[in-house]
Amino acid sequence: MTNLSDVAQKGLGQMAAGITKRQTRKILAYYSIAFNLLFIKREQTMTTDYRLIIKPTNIADLEHFFQFQLDDEAIYLAAFTPKDPADKKAYIDKISNALSKPTTTMRTIFVNDNIVGSVAKFDMEGEAHITYWIDKAYWGKGVTTQAFKEFLIIETTRPIFGSAAFDNFASQRVMEKCGFEKIGTDKGFANARNAEIEEFIYKLI
């Protein structure tokens, strides 16, 4: 599979060689779309011969989450990531702090007793937001959608908001399958893209 981070670096090199920023964006968008289509095709042929449960997150689970978020493709698609995803202390401190807040609900996702990701609700400026991260080995298997649905039974705060980069079609599909509706767009600087990009905003009521 094409490494999107490598593509991004290639795109920057092409810019230096005289290709315009618009052309570079087209190159990156092409690979992002191709990657998402591959995900969707895999999702369409998925099986559900697994047992999924979600449990309250423990501090020890963060070691697994940290490793999952080091994947280059996952970082690229998430887009709005820390400047240095490899800074383990910063990651553990940030999530530990979030877990200590009474407004945070976080669950660890298990598939056949293996930790495969997390899903969480957190508050930002008085609004509830949902976020998740899944081990890439479990993409396209329906795991995220099932985990979302189970989490939204436990977490009853409404409205609850979600967001995804404009080209992260897989995350958009998950939210739509779970009843979220697209309500608008926003722009922000995405560390993973080293550029300002558009993100889609979703809401569940």
Q: What is the pLDDT of residues 69-109, one digit of tens each?
A: 999 999 999 999 999 999 999 999 999 999 999 999 999 99
pLDDT at 19 over 90: no
Q: What's the pLDDT at 42?
A: 52
Does the pLDDT at position 58 exceed 90? yes
Give the count of beta carbons closer than 10 Å to the beta carbon of residue 167: 21
Give the DSSP letter of residue 130.
Answer: E
pLDDT at 22: 54
pLDDT at 50: 87
* Average of per-residue pLDDT values in the chain: 86
Q: Residue 22: inside a domain, yes or no? A: no
Output the CA–CA distances (angstroms, integers) from residue 10 to 2, 4, 28, 131, 151, in the order listed.
Answer: 12, 10, 10, 30, 39
How many domains, the chain?
Answer: 1
- pLDDT grade for 47, boundaries at 50, 70 and 90: low
Intra-chain end-to-end CA distance of the chain, in Å: 37
Looking at the chain, how many residues does it have? Answer: 205
- CATH code, domain carrying 69: 3.40.630.30
Q: 3-state class of 123 per DSSP?
A: strand
**Residue range 111-168, pLDDT digits in tens:** 999 999 999 999 999 999 999 999 999 999 999 999 999 999 999 999 999 999 999 9
Asked if residue 78 is part of any domain, the answer here is yes
Evaluate if residue 18 carries a pLDDT over 70: no
Count Cβ atoms below 10 Å from residue 156 Cβ, excluding itself: 9
At residue 44, does pLDDT exceed 90? Answer: no
Q: Which domain holds residue 154?
A: 47-204
Considering the domain boundaries, does residue 135 fall inside one?
Answer: yes
- Within-domain flag for 159: yes
Does residue 12 form part of some domain? Answer: no
Average pLDDT of the residues in 10-18: 43
Cα radius of gyration (the chain): 17
Q: Are 103 and 123 in contact (CB under 8 A)?
A: yes
CA 28 to chain centre: 18
Q: Is residue 21 part of a domain?
A: no
CA angle 175, 71, 136 (to 5 degrees): 50
- Largest alpha-carbon pair distance within the chain? 53
Residue whose C-alpha is closest to residue 128's, from 102, 146, 109, 108: 102
33 in a structural domain: no
The angle that helices 169-177 and 143-154 make with each other, rounded to 10 degrees, is 40
pLDDT of residue 26 exceeding 70, the answer is no
24 domain-assigned: no
